[in-house]
Amino acid sequence: MMSSENRSDFSASCSSISEEARAKINLALHVTGQRPDGYHLLDMLVTFTDHGDRLDFMRSPTDEFTLSGRFGETLAGDGCTNLVLKARDLLREAIGPLAFPVRIQLEKNLPVASGIGGGSADAAATLRGLMRLWGTSLPEEALAALALKLGSDVPMCLASRPLIARGIGEKIEPVPELPVLAMVLANPLKGVSTPEVFRQLATKNNPALSLPPSRPLAADWLAAIAAARNDLEPPARELVPEIAAISAMLQANGALLTRMSGSGATCFGIFATMAAAEDAAAALHDARPDWYFQATETVSGGA
């Protein structure tokens, strides 16, 4: 933790900062068991996209929280439970009197409750941003415990880099060799209940994620991802038939591989180039302007 003198200089120079809350993409999600407390055990290959929410933090006489962006109104009535505010309050409790009042602006660009970690990414970005604004930090283990308290996806969203996550999401292994992928995110903007998806899951003790030990080429990675699966996709398709329809639309527009992310309803299509992804997103938007389509790239594992 930095000295009080350096902390004061840091805070004075960082009166306003920004953080990106990148969309979390489950390239694979294997349900491998269930703990006695009800939590499911997972093996996940995860990456993050350039596209996501944005949070701005600045000093304020009192705590403030404002919303903007395409999906901001969806959260407008959620001020008491929003993960951003929970993250702020938990971090303040851990840091103490150095945590002065802040104004937080959340630009909500990702669909809410859509399987791409929007709320978890927002919480993780809040932890990163406020530690910078307040000019302080927590020991790695304490920060990881605080993040897990906010949700099982928050620790991996803190990293926002390609990784394998196991357990309930807390056991994280970086995957620096995962290449950048051009993709289209697609969501029919119809809600799907995560608890109901898990309840409908036929088998909860499925084979673990297995990746080849050497994957130097992008084509090898595409084959490895194709050989994996999302165990939550079949029950989600039963609950929300639009998931199958939107996956078929991605394939029809040139996706090399399509899959649902998380518990849905967002699907992704991987494309050969970013130009191909942008063309597909434009065509899909023209076909269904009432749905959500976004061309983006994933971040580099070595960044």
Q: Which residues are catalytic?
A: 24, 153
Beta strands in the chain (DSSP E): 16-34, 40-59, 64-68, 102-107, 163-167, 171-174, 182-187, 257-260, 267-271, 292-297
The C-alpha angle 52, 194, 156, rounded to 5 degrees, equals 45
Chain centroid offset of residue 235 CA: 21
The upper half-sphere exposure of residue 236, i.e. CA atoms within 13 Å in the direction of its Cβ, equals 29
Spell out the long-range contacts of 109-112 with Cβ–Cβ below 8 A and sequence spacing 24 or more.
109/51, 109/52, 109/53, 109/54, 109/69, 109/70, 109/71, 110/21, 110/23, 110/51, 110/52, 110/53, 110/71, 111/71, 111/187, 111/189, 111/266, 111/292, 112/71, 112/74, 112/75
* Residue 196 phi, psi dihedral angles, 5° rounding: -70, -35
Q: Is the peptide bond before 182 cis (omega within 30 degrees of 0)?
A: no
Query: Residue 284 belongs to what H/E stretch?
Result: helix 274-287
Question: How many CB atoms neighbour CB 296 within 10 A?
Answer: 23
Chain centroid offset of residue 57 CA: 20
Neighbouring residues of 224: CB distance < 8 A, sequence distance ≥ 6: 211, 212, 215
Give the whole-angstrom CA distance, residue 155 versus residue 96: 22
Chain centroid offset of residue 45 CA: 12
